């Protein structure tokens, strides 16, 4: 519950790639696959471009969780995309840990262009985890 008595609904920010994971997210919508409406998406050319400071900025701005819909091995830009993305996440999580923020608020999953169901499942599972963790504001006050 929130301070107003309304149920807590976590906000998730998704970084996705134009050519690989965006089509899956679009497909989920076209197929009327339901995932939480508090999922917000930012499309970028390649998920290896995600910067740790972007993740931290989102969290500190009140986003309860960040999900990177990684290109995996299908990346059109670089063959080590998943490794580079993973390193950015690890760097962000180190800083989160220093600040007392639960590192499980950041997740990454490989989402191919036809992975509508896996994307929806990731969002539902992440939403459940974030609901159990509670509002990010509690961690930011510490």
Residue 73 has pLDDT above 70, yes or no: no
State the pLDDT at residue 142: 59
Domains contained in the chain, CATH given: 12-137 (3.40.50)
Report the predicted TM-score, pTM, of the whole model to 2 decimal places.
0.90
Q: What is the mean pLDDT of residues 2-21?
A: 84
Q: How far apart are CA 142 and CA 123, in angstroms?
A: 27
Among candidate residues 46, 107, 102, 36, the one with its CA nearest the CA of residue 75: 46
Residue 1: other Cβ atoms inside 10 A: 9
């Amino acid at each position: 519950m929130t301070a107003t008595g309304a149920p807590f609904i976590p906000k998730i920010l998704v970084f996705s790639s134009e050519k690989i994971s965006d089509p899956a997210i679009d497909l989920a919508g076209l197929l009327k696959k339901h995932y939480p409406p508090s999922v917000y998406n930012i499309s970028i050319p390649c998920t290896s471009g995600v910067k740790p400071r972007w993740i931290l900025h989102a969290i500190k701005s009140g986003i309860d969780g960040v999900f990177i819909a990684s290109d995996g091995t299908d990346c059109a830009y670089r063959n080590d995309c998943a490794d580079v993305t993973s390193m950015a996440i690890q760097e962000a999580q180190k800083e989160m840990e220093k600040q007392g923020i639960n590192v499980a608020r950041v997740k990454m999953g490989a989402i191919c262009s036809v992975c509508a169901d896996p994307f929806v499942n990731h969002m539902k599972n992440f939403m459940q985890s974030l609901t159990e963790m509670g509002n990010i504001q509690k961690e930011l006050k510490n």
